[in-house]
Amino acid sequence: MLMNVKPSFRNLVIPVIQVLIFLFLFKAAKSQDNKSSAIDSKYKKGMVVCATPLASQVGLDILKKGGNAIDAAVAVHFALQVTHPEAGNIGGGGLMVYRAANGSTSTLDFREKAPGNASANMYLDSTGKVITDLSVNTRKASGVPGSVDGMVVAHKKLGSLKWAELVQPAIVLARNGFKISKRLANDLNRNRLEFVKNNPKNTYLINENGWKEGDLLIQEDLAKTLELIRDKGREGFYTGPVADLIVAEMKTGNGIITKADLENYHSVWRNAITGDYKNYHIITMPPPSSGGVALLQLLQSVKKYPLNKWGFNSDSTVQVMVEAERRVYADRSKYLGDPDFFKVPVDSLINPVYNQKRMENFNWNTATLSSAILPGNIAGYESDQTTHYSIVDSQGNAVAITTTLNDSFGSKVFVSGAGFLLNDEMDDFSIKPGVPNMYGLVGGKANSIQPGKRMLSSMTPTIVEKDGKLFMVVGTPGGSTIITSVFQTILNVIEFNQNMQQAVNAKKFHHQWVPDVVLTEKGALDDNCKTSLKRKGYKIEEKGAIGRVDAILVTNDGYYEGGADPRGDDTKLGW
């Protein structure tokens, strides 16, 4: 056709067509790139998804050496202490959900505990008022750490490789150093003043000139502590030089953890709590996690509604989910606590009839006021800086672990000479009935402070089965938003047919009863959805990132498909 066009005009048209063809191919390629970024490579022998590339590589290396999921989890845990000091820890605690390849399940509670000298009113003044910030960013804010004991106990029961082999990679990273990411540099700089205020003897997390991407972070004191843990296991942390350094740090600022507290700390194996959502079986964490109970309540509350028909983040979908969240978080405020100290009515709370009845006063035409919602009638009766990792090995053993210091970098208190930060988990107790913690969560007697008691957690490590087989391993950090982030991620896959990476990437929203506001990530709700909800009386506020989900999906053909959250430096690696 162009042969009949005059040369001058043809010379003009041909380049234009070439440009159009180029733009078409570029757009197609770009679309394919975007698609491939959401569709994960599939792996058969194992997968690790966690908060940093180096820690993911450590875990994958362990799997390739013949280690199982628990071996990899232990190695990842210690590597995260080095590479993700915001939340990776030996000075905090966590929760683990495990499913063996044969289908048997167990959970390990290595949550921190209140010291022996703790008391219900320890953060109140003589008039009964809360002393501002005493339960955060002070030595008195720390619970007795459980992470090291948890890793030792998990390895002893379920591990296969030698303990020293699992701790050694973290020692190498600490001693040789690693180049920090832009995100970590910014986090360290943002917290510099708190580090300086709380650590008069200085810490290598402080750089007087400011941290930059690519700077080398060397942690020699931490390497020595990890060597003691490598060589002596539990005793390398809870007794001896490290315990002495922890107690000495307490004495510099009215902290109350003693040698006896450290020696007497022990993790607890607990039975998983389970429930069904359609043809999926949910295996999750019991109290002192509030997350497992709340997750099952949420799924039961929305089960009868046609979410798939309504669509992802439509106004109807969001409204139903928000109303369920409002009621579940109200229950959390009254009924959830450490089961060793308080009789938690788990069976009643996760009864489908109870949760469906709780939704009966839901009105499509107007938002329910949180002030009108109280905890349900039961007969007889967490920073955003947590971190999560999901691991599956070649045999099909799966582990979901969420671990935390509570706030970003915990209490900002650095154990001088030992090279690690302490938690500020005492703020997760209800320091006074009705007074919110740093995440705005309120509580009462069930979560009051008592010596030796574990504080309530929102951590929600979860494993999902389909037709009796492993289907998903999922969890996230995010303080009070952990529960709703896991809830939405599961629904994204089951109801909205998203693959694992898409489900993780998807923009999220959150409601927690009090305050009465729907928090959303930017772009989570379109204008029509927001207009519809606001017309009904919902208050909507945008905030930053919600959650940092790390998850693994087992595809129909038996491959592992990972989802690593782009909100952080999270990385998925498989083989």
Active-site amino acid positions:
386
- Outline where 146-239 has alpha helix (H): 147-158, 163-176, 182-190, 192-198, 220-232, 235-238
Block residue for tokens 């003043």: 193
Angle (nearest 5°) at CA 70 between 64 and 75: 70
Nearest to 303 by CA among 285, 284, 282, 333: 282
The secondary structure element, H or E, covering residue 16 is helix 7-38
Q: Which two tokens stand for residue 451?
A: 């010596």
Q: How far is CA 172 from CA 165, 166, 168, 333, 404, in A?
A: 11, 11, 6, 43, 23
Q: How many C-beta atoms lie closer than 10 Å to residue 548's C-beta?
A: 26
The secondary structure element, H or E, covering residue 244 is helix 240-251
Residue type, 181: S
Contact 393, 160 (CB under 8 A): no
3-state secondary structure 17-85: HHHHHHHHHHHHHHHHHHHHHHCCCEECCCEEEECCHHHHHHHHHHHHCCCCHHHHHHHHHHHHHHHCC
Nearest to 226 by CA among 80, 93, 127: 80
Block residue for tokens 């009215």: 254
Angle (nearest 5°) at CA 206 between 409 and 243: 55
Q: What is the distance between the alpha carbons of residues 575 and 554, in angstroms, rounded to a whole number? A: 14
Q: Which two tokens stand for residue 389?
A: 């990792």
Q: What is the distance between the alpha carbons of residues 318 and 300, in angstroms, rounded to a whole number? A: 16
Dihedral of alpha carbons 513, 514, 516, 522, sign: negative
Q: What is the distance between the alpha carbons of residues 443 and 460, in angstroms, rounded to a whole number? A: 18
